[in-house]
A and B are shown apart, each in its own frame.
Chain A
Amino acid sequence: MSRSPRASGYFRTSYDQDLALVQTRLERTSLGVFIAALLAFPLIASPFQLDLACQVFLASIGALSLMLLTGYAGQISLGHAGLLAAGAFTVGILFRETNAPFWITLPAAAAVGGLLGIIFGLPSLRLRGLYLAVSTLALHFVVIYLGGEYEARRGFSTGIVVDPPKLGGVSITDARAWYFILLGAAAATLLVCLNLLRARTGRAWRALRTRETVAEALGIGVASYKLLAFVISSAVTAVAGALFAYYRGFVSVEAFSLFLTIQYLAMVIIGGMGSLLGALLGAIFVTLFPYIIEIGLLALPGAQRHASLLFAVNYAAFGLVMILFLMFEPLGLVGMWRRMQNYFLLWPFKHRRAGGSRG
Chain B
Amino acid sequence: MVATQLLDREALRRKSAPLLLCERTHTAPEGIAFRSKHLGLYRERTWREYAALVARAARAFAALGLRRGDRVAIMGDACEEWVISDLAAQSLGAIVYGIYPTASASEVEYQMRDGGAVLFIAENQEYLDKLLPLADRLPALNWIVVIDDTATFAYQHPKLRAYRALLAAAGEPDLAWLEEQAARLDADAPAFIVYTSGTTGAPKGALVTHGKHLAAAANIVDHYPTLAQKEHRTVGYLPLCHVLGRDVAVTLPLISRLVPHFGEHAEDLPTTLFETAPTVLFTVPRYLQRFAAQVLLGIRNSGGVKRASAEIAMQFARAHARRRWNGAGGFAERALYRACRAGVFLPLLNKLGFDRLELVVCAGAPLPPQTMALWQMFGINVVEMYGQTETAGGIICGQRGPFPRPGDVGAVPAGWQVKLASDGEVLVKSPDLFESYWNNPDATRAVKNEDGWLRTGDIGEWHAGALRLVDRARDFIVTSGGKTVSPSFVENILRASPYIAEAIVFGHGRKYLAALIEIEADTVADWARSHDVAYTGFTSLAGNPEVAQLIGIEVERANGELSRPEQIKAFRILPKALDPEEEGEPITPTRKVKRHLMYERFKTLVEEMYDDREQQLIAAGAVEIA
Query: Chain A: residues with CB nearer than 8 A to chain B?
Result: 5, 7-15, 18, 346-351, 354-358
What's the Cα separation between A11 and B235 when bound, in Å?
12
Chain B residue numbers with a CB within 8 Å of A349 are: 298-299, 301-302, 306, 348, 351
The segment from B41-49, B101-109, B236-244 found at the interface with A is B41-49
Which of A7, A11, A12 is B350 in contact with, Cβ under 8 Å? A7
The segment from B171-179, B266-274, B316-324 found at the interface with A is B266-274
What's the Cα separation between A135 and B365 when bound, in Å?
73
Q: Write the chain B residue with the least CB distance to A6.
A: B350
Query: What are 11 A-B interface contacts by the 8 Å CB criterion?
Result: A8-B277, A8-B354, A12-B41, A14-B41, A347-B344, A348-B299, A349-B299, A349-B306, A354-B298, A355-B273, A355-B351
Query: Chain B: residues with CB nearer than 8 A to chain A?
Result: 35, 37, 40-44, 261, 270-277, 291, 294-295, 298-299, 301-303, 306-307, 309-310, 344, 347-348, 350-356
Chain B residue numbers with a CB within 8 Å of A7 are: 350
Which of B43, B271, B299, B356 is A358 in contact with, Cβ under 8 Å? B271
CB-CB nearest 10 A-B residue pairs: A356-B274, A9-B277, A355-B352, A350-B302, A356-B270, A8-B353, A354-B298, A8-B277, A349-B298, A348-B310
Asked if A351 and B42 make an inter-chain contact with CB atoms under 8 angstroms apart, the answer reads no
Q: Write the chain A residue with the least CB distance to B355.
A: A8
Given contacts A349-B299, A354-B351, A356-B270, contact A11 B42 (CB under 8 A): yes
Asked if B302 and A11 make an inter-chain contact with CB atoms under 8 angstroms apart, the answer reads no
Chain B residue numbers with a CB within 8 Å of A18 are: 40
Given contacts A349-B298, A349-B299, contact A354 B275 (CB under 8 A): no
Given contacts A11-B261, A13-B41, A356-B352, contact A351 B298 (CB under 8 A): yes
Asked if A348 and B353 make an inter-chain contact with CB atoms under 8 angstroms apart, the answer reads no
Asked if A350 and B301 make an inter-chain contact with CB atoms under 8 angstroms apart, the answer reads yes
Chain A residue numbers with a CB within 8 Å of B275 are: 5, 8-12, 356
Chain B residue numbers with a CB within 8 Å of A15 are: 40-41
Which of B295, B299, B356 is A9 in contact with, Cβ under 8 Å? B356
The smallest C-beta distance from A120 to any residue of chain B, in angstroms, reads: 41
The smallest C-beta distance from B267 to any residue of chain A, in angstroms, reads: 12
- Report the tally of A-B residue pairs with Cβ distances under 8 A: 100
Asked if B348 and A348 make an inter-chain contact with CB atoms under 8 angstroms apart, the answer reads yes
Centre residue among A7, A350, A351, A355 by max chain B CB count within 10 A: A355
Asked if A348 and B261 make an inter-chain contact with CB atoms under 8 angstroms apart, the answer reads no
Asked if B306 and A354 make an inter-chain contact with CB atoms under 8 angstroms apart, the answer reads no
What's the Cα separation between A11 and B355 when bound, in Å?
15
Asked if A348 and B309 make an inter-chain contact with CB atoms under 8 angstroms apart, the answer reads yes
Asked if A12 and B276 make an inter-chain contact with CB atoms under 8 angstroms apart, the answer reads no
Asked if A348 and B41 make an inter-chain contact with CB atoms under 8 angstroms apart, the answer reads no
What's the Cα separation between A174 and B551 when bound, in Å?
74
Asked if B352 and A347 make an inter-chain contact with CB atoms under 8 angstroms apart, the answer reads no
Centre residue among B301, B302, B307 by max chain A CB count within 10 A: B302
Which of B261, B271, B303, B309 is A350 in contact with, Cβ under 8 Å? B303
What's the Cα separation between A196 and B44 when bound, in Å?
31
The smallest C-beta distance from B155 to any residue of chain A, in angstroms, reads: 32
What's the Cα separation between A98 and B294 when bound, in Å?
72
What's the Cα separation between A27 and B310 when bound, in Å?
25
Asked if B309 and A357 make an inter-chain contact with CB atoms under 8 angstroms apart, the answer reads no
Chain B residue numbers with a CB within 8 Å of A14 are: 41
Chain B residue numbers with a CB within 8 Å of A11 are: 35, 37, 42, 261, 275-276
What's the Cα separation between A176 and B356 when bound, in Å?
45
What's the Cα separation between A9 and B350 when bound, in Å?
9
Centre residue among A8, A346, A348, A349 by max chain B CB count within 10 A: A348
What's the Cα separation between A349 and B297 when bound, in Å?
9
The smallest C-beta distance from B204 to any residue of chain A, in angstroms, reads: 36
Asked if A347 and B306 make an inter-chain contact with CB atoms under 8 angstroms apart, the answer reads yes
Asked if B306 and A348 make an inter-chain contact with CB atoms under 8 angstroms apart, the answer reads yes
Given contacts A8-B350, A8-B353, contact A351 B301 (CB under 8 A): yes
The smallest C-beta distance from B357 to any residue of chain A, in angstroms, reads: 10
Asked if B261 and A354 make an inter-chain contact with CB atoms under 8 angstroms apart, the answer reads no
What's the Cα separation between A1 and B72 when bound, in Å?
46
Asked if A8 and B42 make an inter-chain contact with CB atoms under 8 angstroms apart, the answer reads no
